[in-house]
Amino acid sequence: MVKVRLKFSKRGPVRFIGHLDLMRYFQKVNRRAEIDIKYSEGFSPHQVLSFAEPLSVGATSDGEYLDLQMNSEPDVKALIDQMNSVMNEGVEILDACILDENSEKAMTLVDAAEWIMTFREGKEPQAGWEDKLRAYMDKDNLPAIKKTKRGEAEINMKPLIFKAEVVAKKNLVGFSDPEYRFIDNNLDDNISCIHLFVSSGSADHLKPGMVVENFMRECGEEMQPNAIRLHRVDTFLKGEDEKGTYEVPMTDTEGKHKIYL
């Protein structure tokens, strides 16, 4: 059995496909592409797939991850082409890597995520909010109420925000990948983007929307439902080398886009 991790994008109308339906979608893709996928044992065998971190309905992404199990080791490039040839437009395999046999699931490895948020038309805070938000995020203590399974807890968001900026779309450059540009044909080039690199995964998960929500509350403004358009740039796992700890995209085995924090 060979474990493979895929990196894919989710863009355009398919952003409204829910998590479970995306799973079913990939099961069909694998069948159409005739991938040598491994099936579980038992009377109704199924494909063993798992996502790194579910993306909320309506959000787009250039950095989603899916782990799958195959019977034989594929040629990575051929696998990507094979899958993309039967893929629906809007979902595209961007990268893939073969994993070590005992490697943990993507889900348990997620440690950080890079996000871009924009306000939907008519739902922006009052003009001039960009500077106010910059000042807000510069503070040392950013208290927020986090809902957990056991109730509510007060947390400080600040240590969970690794990098942050508010910048016009045309000037946005990826934090981990300096070549990364934010492309979305539906958005104006000058729209203000809230660009965050935050802690993610199960332990110290920070929903990017929480930053905006608390900011607006402090400004005395009510955030309207669905005010934020959310885009994930990438998802990262943690690593360590002689230079210190870093975050790296989950299929970037060569460490091309490591980011030291």
Partner 1 sequence: MNEKLALSDDILLSCSKPERYIGNEVNSVTKDLKDVKIRFAFCFPDVYEIGMSHLGIQILYGMFNSYDDVWCERVYSPWTDMDQVMRDNKIPLFALESQDPVHDFDFLGFTLQYELCYTNILQVLDLSGIPFTSAERTDWSCPIVIGGGPCTYNPEPIADFFDIFYIGEGENHYRTLFDLYEQCKADGTSRKDFLIKAASIPGMYIPSLYEVKYKEDGTIESMNPTVEGIPSHITKDIVTDLDHAFYPSKPVVPFIKATQDRIVLEVMRGCIRGCRFCQAGQLYRPKREKSHEVLEKQAVELLKNTGYEEISLSSLSTSDYEQLPQLLDFLLKECGSKHVNISLPSLRIDNFSLDVMSKVQDIKKSSLTFAAEAGSQRLRDVINKGVTEEDILRGSHEAFLGGWNKVKFYFMLGHPWETDEDIAGIGEICNKVAAEYFDTVPKEKRNGQSVEITASTSFFVPKPFTPFQWAPMCKPEEFLEKAAKTKAGIRSQINQKRIKYNWHEANASMLEGVFARGDRKLCKAILRAYEKGCIYDAWGEYFKYDVWMETFEELGIDPWFYVSRTRPDDEIFPWDILDCGVTKSFLLREWHTSQEAKISKNCANQCMGCGAKQYGVGICMEPKTDKNVGYAV
| Position 57 contacts partner 1 (CB under 8 A) | yes
236, 241, 245, 249: CA torsion to nearest 10: -10
Which 3 state secondary structure label does DSSP give 160?
A: helix
Greatest CA span in the chain, whole angstroms?
61
Q: Which is nearer to partner 1, 85 or 102 (CB)?
A: 85
Give yes or no for residue 25 binding partner 1 (CB under 8 A): yes
| Least Cβ distance, residue 121 to partner 1 (angstroms) | 9
Phi, psi of 46 (to 5 degrees): -135, 165
Name the minimum Å distance from CB 251 to partner 1. 23
Q: Which of 87, 155 has the CB closer to partner 1? A: 87
209 binds partner 1 (CB under 8 A): no
Backbone angles phi, psi at 221, to 5 degrees: -110, 150
Whose structure tokens read 């608390």? 214
Token readout for 247 is 């975050």
Q: Which residue type sits at 39?
A: Y
Q: Which of 10, 207, 229, 232 binds partner 1 (CB under 8 A)?
A: 229
The terminus-to-terminus CA distance of the chain in angstroms comes to: 35
Q: Rule CB under 8 A: is residue 73 a binding residue for partner 1? A: no
> Could you say whether residue 187 binds partner 1 (CB under 8 A)?
no
Query: Which residues 143-172 are close enough to bind partner 1 by CB under 8 A?
Result: none
Tokens for 193?
A: 């983007």
Kindly list the residues in this chain that would bind partner 1 in the complex (CB under 8 A): 12-14, 16-18, 21, 24-25, 27-32, 34, 39, 43-45, 57-58, 86, 88-90, 120, 185-186, 225-226, 229
